[in-house]
Structures are given as structure tokens and as C-alpha cells.
């Protein structure tokens, strides 16, 4: 599906997106409004949808660069160093003076479900100029990965640059915006989950038929391929001919679903960059997302290429 390049063994992936420190609280169940729950532990774990996807792609044996911002606080230094240790190029991760790094407060219950509150911090300072200053990275990339935890105009500038250079764009539209310009979805692949797909299309999703209707609506809004992740129901793909295909999920015991969507998006990008069909790429991405959900945390949960391959082989036996 790659638009214009050879299919390298180590694809070049560029991520424009957020970097957060996740403050993770584990508890038996998520509290209801007005309710106080006693948690078991609190952890500081590197996160942010952009950084999660960068780490995931690096562990899947891609060459990854990130365009982002952190604050000039202690978290910022730790987050930048952590990405470097994962093999991510951070030369375009800008340290923002007099600004806190992004922060996410993540509550995870025993079922693996979570509730997340994000404070953007330096992520909110990532500008269109930052993206244009790194246009050489986008030009030379096989795939550009985008999410929506940085300003919308910055994401749009990245899409415009990628379009100019023929770079394939995968948009994980999370968190889904309340309103958006139509060109936001003028990308090769949009991969929302069912909640985000409902927010983008106005179509409530309770069945596979609903998901197919939402996917076709996403196609009408501009994306070449709509891929809606459906948790235990797997993922649904709708391509340029508007035919839909369901990729089944994998049977797992979920520990923490925080990073599953980010693992999915990164694996989808890496697989497409290697020249896989959209169906095979989504199957690989479902496996990566399932593996991530069996582990605690965001970036620490990201599987390696060898782990995903073994998981697929075992699942198909």
C-alpha cells in the first residue's frame, strides 16, 4: 500500500505527536462520579500517544524519528532520554523553556479497562513551524504516524507536508475532536476505535453492521482506508471500493489496555511500509495490540517484532 517507495526491511517511520509522563493508579474498579476508591499503587511510566507509537515502531524494527516537544522539567529530561534508549531519534524533540511536560493520569482497573485524563503541557506548544522545520524527515519517511494530542493545526500541517512529498499517512484520531475540518481525514488510513469512530461520524456502534456504516462514512469524509478497532470483535476494514472486511481478535487475558491502540497504529504503519496488504497489516496490528494489552503500562508494554511473530504463529496453530 506504500505510495511511492521501495519496501525496506527497516522502514523509516516519523511520528508527530505527544510525549507524556503517565501517572498510573491501579485499583479494583474505576470510581463512579462522586465516589472515592482506594487504589493499590501508583507508578510513573513514560507515555503519550505519539511517544508510545514511536517506541512500538522502534521495537518492531523500524528506524523511527519523532517531532515533538517536552518541558524543561525533570519529566522532560527523563522522557527524552527514555526515547533515545529505545532507539528513537529525538533530534527534533524540542525542549520547551518555562513549560511543564505533558502529563496523563491513568486509572486502570483489574479488568484492564482504563480512564485517562491528559494535561497537554509542552505538547500544546508543538507548532506548524516545528513540523515545517522538520519537513526533510517527513519527505524521507515511508510512513507518517499522527494522533490528536497536539494542536489540530500542527497535525494538519504534517498531513499537508506528507501529501506534498507522497508520504503515506496513518491517523489515529484520538482523542476524537468535537469538530474538525474535512481535510483532517484526507489520509491513507484512519484507525479510530469504536468510540472515536462514533464521535467522528455520529453513528453509534453496537454491531458489526454499525461499524461498517461508520467505516463507510469515514471513507466519505476522506480517508482511503478506514480501520475501526473493535476490542474483542477485532477490527473492521473498509477500502476504496467500500467493501468491508473483519479481522478477528485474539483470545487474551487483558491486564492493561492503555497502550493497545498505540501498538496497533504503530504495527499497522510498520507493516504497510514493508509492503503488506491492508488485511495482513491489520492482522499483524491486531496481534501487536493484543500483546500490549497483556502487559502493564504504555511504553513498557510494547512488543518486539519477534514476539508478535511468535504470537501469530502460536495463534494460527
- The CB density around residue 84, as the number of other CB atoms within 10 Å, is 13
pLDDT in tens, 223-251: 999 999 998 899 999 999 999 999 998 98
- Whether residue 303 contacts residue 288, with contact meaning beta carbons closer than 8 Å, is answered with yes
pLDDT in tens, 168-178: 999 999 999 98
**Is 35 contained in some domain?**
no
Largest separation between any pair of C-alpha atoms in the chain: 55
**Is 6 contained in some domain?**
no
**Is 33 contained in some domain?**
no
Rounded Cα gap, residues 52 and 102, in angstroms? 13
pLDDT in tens, 177-219: 989 998 999 999 999 999 999 999 999 999 999 999 999 999 9
Q: For 44, phi and psi rounded to 5 degrees?
A: -105, 115
Compute CA distances 118 → 121, 150, 222, 315, whole Å.
Answer: 9, 11, 28, 35
What's the total number of domains in the chain? 1
pLDDT in tens, 103-150: 989 898 988 788 888 899 999 999 999 999 999 999 999 999 999 999
Rounded Cα gap, residues 24 and 209, in angstroms? 35
Compute CA distances 103 → 46, 47, 113, 184, whole Å.
Answer: 9, 9, 19, 25
Average pLDDT, the chain: 94
pLDDT in tens, 284-301: 999 999 999 999 888 999
**Is 315 contained in some domain?**
no
Rounded Cα gap, residues 291 and 295, in angstroms? 7
Q: Which residues are catalytic?
A: 262
The kind and range of the H/E element at 16 are strand 12-16
Please report the pLDDT score of residue 111 as a whole number.
87
Provide the grid cell at 155.
Answer: 497535525
**Is 236 contained in some domain?**
yes
Rounded mean pLDDT, 275-288? 96
**Is 34 contained in some domain?**
no
Give the percent of the chain with pLDDT over 70.
97
- The CB density around residue 36, as the number of other CB atoms within 10 Å, is 5
Please report the pLDDT score of residue 110 as a whole number.
87
Please report the pLDDT score of residue 182 as a whole number.
83
**Is 246 contained in some domain?**
yes
pTM, entire model: 0.92
* Structural domain that includes position 246: 12-28+43-310
pLDDT in tens, 21-35: 989 899 999 999 999
Strand partners, 115: 107
Rounded Cα gap, residues 188 and 145, in angstroms? 11
**Is 298 contained in some domain?**
yes
Specify the CATH number for the domain of residue 282: 3.40.1190.20
Nearest to 158 by CA among 177, 143, 180: 143
The band of 95, judged by pLDDT with boundaries at 50, 70 and 90, is: very high
The band of 2, judged by pLDDT with boundaries at 50, 70 and 90, is: very low
The band of 6, judged by pLDDT with boundaries at 50, 70 and 90, is: low
Amino acid at each position: 500500500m506504500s505510495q511511492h517507495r521501495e519496501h525496506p526491511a527497516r522502514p523509516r517511520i516519523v511520528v508527530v505527536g505527544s510525549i507524556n509522563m503517565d501517572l498510573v493508579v491501579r485499583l479494583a474498579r474505576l470510581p463512579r462520579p462522586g465516589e472515592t476508591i482506594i487504589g493499590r499503587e501508583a507508578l510513573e511510566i513514560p507515555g503519550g500517544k505519539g511517544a508510545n507509537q514511536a517506541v512500538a515502531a522502534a521495537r518492531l524494527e523500524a528506524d523511527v524519528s519523532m517531532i515533538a516537544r517536552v518541558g524543561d522539567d525533570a519529566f522532560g529530561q527523563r522522557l527524552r532520554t527514555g526515547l533515545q534508549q529505545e532507539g528513537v531519534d529525538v533530534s527534533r524533540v524540542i525542549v520547551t523553556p518555562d513549560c511543564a511536560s505533558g502529563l496523563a493520569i491513568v486509572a486502570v482497573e483489574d479488568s484492564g479497562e482504563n480512564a485517562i485524563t491528559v494535561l497537554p503541557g509542552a505538547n500544546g506548544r508543538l507548532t506548524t513551524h516545528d513540523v515545517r522545520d522538520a519537513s526533510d524527515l517527513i519527505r524521507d519517511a515511508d510512513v507518517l504516524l499522527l494522533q490528536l494530542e497536539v494542536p489540530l493545526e500542527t497535525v494538519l500541517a504534517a498531513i499537508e507536508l506528507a501529501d506534498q512529498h507522497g508520504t503515506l499517512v496513518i491517523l489515529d484520531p484520538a482523542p476524537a475532536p468535537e469538530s474538525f475540518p474535512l481535510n483532517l481525514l484526507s489520509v491513507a488510513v484512519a484507525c479510530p476505535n469504536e468510540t472515536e469512530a462514533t464521535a467522528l461520524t455520529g453513528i453509534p456502534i453496537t454491531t458489526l453492521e454499525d461499524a461498517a456504516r461508520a467505516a463507510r462514512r469515514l471513507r466519505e469524509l476522506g480517508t482511503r482506508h478506514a480501520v475501526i478497532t473493535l476490542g474483542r470483535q477485532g477490527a473492521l476494514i473498509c477500502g476504496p471500493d467500500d467493501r468491508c472486511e473483519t479481522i478477528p481478535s485474539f483470545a487474551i487475558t487483558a491486564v492493561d489496555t492503555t497502550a493497545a491502540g498505540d501498538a496497533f497504529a504503530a504495527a499497522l504503519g510498520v507493516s504497510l511500509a514493508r509492503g503488506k496488504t491492508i488485511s495482513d497489516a491489520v492482522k499483524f496490528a491486531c496481534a501487536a495490540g493484543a500483546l500490549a494489552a497483556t502487559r502493564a503500562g504504555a511504553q513498557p508494554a510494547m512488543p518486539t517484532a519477534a514476539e508478535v511473530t511468535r504470537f501469530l504463529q502460536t495463534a494460527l496453530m
